[in-house]
Amino acid sequence: MRAFVDTKLWVYRLDRREAAKSRRIGVWLKELARDHEIVVSTQVLIELRTVASTKLKPALSANDTGVALAALSAFEVVATDTNLVLDAHELAVAEQLSWFDALIVEAAIRSRCDVLYSEDLAHGRRFGDLTVCNPLAEAQGARS
């Protein structure tokens, strides 16, 4: 199974200010990697670098940021090219998505992912064969 992991989940893993959430996401990512092919996009790498060098600074050093980017680069990375941008525009209009959400969804669709893990889209929403899952919502539901 192929799984696209959105930026915010990677940020939670790196955010030392919320140690419990970071650990929980870390465990979840390890479990996910055992059973899934993980996919990210150039957008995820760019957004992660931006957050790491602003919101997570100084707790996260430039070296730590480089290590995180290299680790994510080891997964399949979908390049944000002209066709992806044009198709994401059409998707944003058709599905009433924000621009950056449409880019993420389009990258997940193009890479033939079964699931898109994100906190930014409605849990359970579908885009054709792609299903959005919020792992934090799943964890909360499991505790209820």
Q: Listing from the earlier edge strand, what are the strands of the sheet with 126-127? A: 76-78, 37-41, 2-5, 115-117, 130-133, 126-127
**27 contacts 64 by C-beta, under 8 angstroms:** no
Task: Give the residue among 50, 101, 110 at the shortest CA–CA distance from 82.
Answer: 110
pLDDT band at 127 (very low <50, low <70, confident <90, very high): very high
The whole-number pLDDT of residue 140 equals: 54
Going by DSSP bridges, is the β-strand pair 126-127/130-133 parallel, antiparallel, or unpaired?
antiparallel
How confident is the prediction for the chain on average, in pLDDT?
A: 93
Strand ranges (DSSP E) for 64-104?
A: 76-78
Q: Does the pLDDT value for residue 143 go beyond 50?
A: no
**119 contacts 7 by C-beta, under 8 angstroms:** no
Q: How far apart are CA 32 and CA 57, in angstroms?
A: 27
Q: For domain 2-139, give the CATH superfamily.
A: 5'-nuclease (3.40.50.1010)
Q: Where are the domains of the chain?
A: 2-139
Q: How far apart are CA 61 and CA 38, in angstroms?
A: 25
Q: Which residue's structure tokens are 């990512």?
A: 29
The whole-number pLDDT of residue 142 equals: 44
What are the tens digits of pLDDT across the range 35-72?
Answer: 999 999 999 999 999 999 999 988 889 999 999 999 99
What are the tens digits of pLDDT across the range 70-102?
Answer: 999 999 999 999 999 999 999 999 999 999 999
Query: Would you state the structure tokens that stand for residue 95, as one six-digit string?
Result: 């599905």
